[in-house]
């Protein structure tokens, strides 16, 4: 079984993020879900982004790195949307990573050292017409990662919703979220 460090999205540690972590635990995986906002949650993307900007994106990445320092090296790093920032940074830079799950976001690998580690498998998931994922360049970064990394997969889902995996939000898409969860569990079984 895999050990996962899962980072929440821009709205904070919602019940939907906690529920996703619980689903992975029910499948036998160990899942750590830190709260990078220290208890705050938001009901709109704009409010969440304003909070992140007030903290600084670097602070979010540093908080994620600090959490990892207290955990073993052989982790799968996962993140939803904004949570991909610390997850991807750790997968690319921390020795011993077992894998990465980049959910609804992908950052150009040049942001964290220029290359993806060959030994680290990665899955990227997003909706093909999501204004954030497809419209802000994440899908291009994901395609480039798949093109250059030997063990990278990109899964696109029909639709235009962002945060479609979180059942506590209006953007939730049950069919797409169920398929994503099935693919994530297969990935974790393969690296665990």
What pTM was estimated for this model as a whole? 0.96
Give the pLDDT of residue 88: 98
pLDDT single digits (tens) 8-66: 999 999 999 999 999 999 999 999 999 999 889 999 888 988 998 998 898 999 999 99
Give the pLDDT of residue 113: 84
d(CA 106, CA 1): 25
Task: Return the domain boundaries, the chain.
Answer: 3-191
Is CATH 3.40.50.1820 what the domain over 3-191 is classified as, yes or no? yes
Statement: residue 192 has pLDDT above 80: no
Give the pLDDT of residue 49: 87
User: Which residue, among 102, 99, 31, has the nearest Cα to 67 in the 3D structure?
Assistant: 31
d(CA 170, CA 93): 35
Burial profile 146-172: b = 16 or more Cβ within 10 angstroms, e = fewer? beebebbebebbebbbbbbbbeebebe
- Mean pLDDT over residues 103-121, rounded? 94
pLDDT single digits (tens) 91-110: 999 999 999 999 999 999 99
Give the pLDDT of residue 168: 94
- Mean pLDDT over residues 113-131, rounded? 95
Tell me the two tokens of residue 43. Answer: 């009901």
Give the pLDDT of residue 169: 94
d(CA 187, CA 128): 21
d(CA 126, CA 159): 9
Give the pLDDT of residue 44: 87
């Amino acid at each position: 079984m895999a050990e996962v460090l899962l980072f929440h999205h821009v709205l904070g540690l919602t019940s939907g993020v906690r529920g996703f972590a619980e689903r992975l635990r029910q499948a036998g995986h160990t899942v750590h879900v830190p709260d990078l906002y220290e208890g705050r949650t938001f009901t709109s993307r704009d409010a969440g982004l304003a909070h992140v900007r007030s903290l600084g994106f670097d602070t979010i990445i540093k908080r994620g790195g600090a959490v990892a320092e207290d955990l073993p090296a052989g982790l799968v790093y996962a993140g939803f949307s904004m949570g991909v920032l610390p997850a991807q940074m750790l997968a690319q830079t921390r020795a011993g990573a077992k894998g990465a799950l980049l959910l609804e976001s992908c950052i150009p690998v040049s942001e964290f050292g220029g290359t993806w580690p060959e030994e680290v498998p990665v899955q990227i998931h997003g909706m093909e017409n999501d204004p954030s994922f497809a419209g802000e360049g994440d899908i291009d970064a994901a395609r480039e990662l798949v093109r250059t990394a030997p063990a990278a997969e990109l899964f696109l889902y029909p639709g235009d919703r962002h945060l479609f995996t979180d059942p506590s939000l209006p953007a939730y898409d049950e069919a797409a979220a169920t398929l994503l969860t099935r693919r994530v569990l297969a990935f974790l079984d393969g690296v665990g």
